[in-house]
Amino acid sequence: MSEIISDPDCLFCRIVAGEIPAERLYEDDEILAFRDVNPQAPFHALIIPRTHIATLNDLQPAQATLAGRLLAVAARIAAEQGFAEAGYRVAMNCNADGGQSVYHIHLHLLAGRQLAWPPG
Ligand code: AMP
C-alpha cells in the first residue's frame, strides 16, 4: 500500500477521516465509496482513493493500479446493487470544463435510469 496523503481543507479527505458523515458503501485500505449527497440518478455513488489526488492530471504513473482499482470497485458496487446487467455509467470530471467541483479525484457511478449520451 502506498502512503496516504490527506489535505485538511479537502472535503473528501474529511469524509475519509470520518470528520464529515457519508453513507459508506465500500471501503478498504486504499479506497472509499459512498452515496453522492445530490444524486443525479436513482443510484449515485462516488468512489475515491483515500489518498489526496486533486485531479486526474495529478495521477502519477505509480498510481495506475490504484486508478484501476477504482474502476473495479465501481463494477463491484454496481453488481452488489443489482445494476450489472441493466447497465450503469462511471465518469470522472477533470477541472472546470469537465465540471469538477471537488478537487479530490472520484469516480461517479450512476445507475437506475436510461442515461443520456452525450452527457452535455
Ligand atoms: P464533481 O462535480 O465531479 O467534482 O462531483 C462532486 C460530487 O460530490 C457532486 O456530485 C456532489 O453532489 C458530491 N458531494 C459534494 N459534497 C458531498 C458530500 N458531503 N457527501 C457526498 N457527496 C458530496
**20 CA: nearest ligand 1 atom:** 19
The 43-49 sheet, strands edge to edge: 24-27, 31-35, 43-49, 107-111, 88-91
Concerning whether 52 is annotated as a catalytic residue, the answer is no
Domain boundaries, the chain: 11-111
Identify the segments of the chain with pLDDT beneath 70: 1
The alpha-helical segments, DSSP class H, found in the chain are 11-16, 64-80, 95-98
Q: Return the pLDDT at 1.
A: 57
| C-alpha cell recorded at residue 33 | 465509496
Question: Hey, what CATH class is 11-111 in?
Answer: alpha beta
C-alpha 102 – ligand 1 centre gap (Å): 7
Which pTM was predicted? 0.98
- Note the pLDDT tens digit of each residue in 27-62: 999 999 999 999 999 999 999 999 999 999 999 999
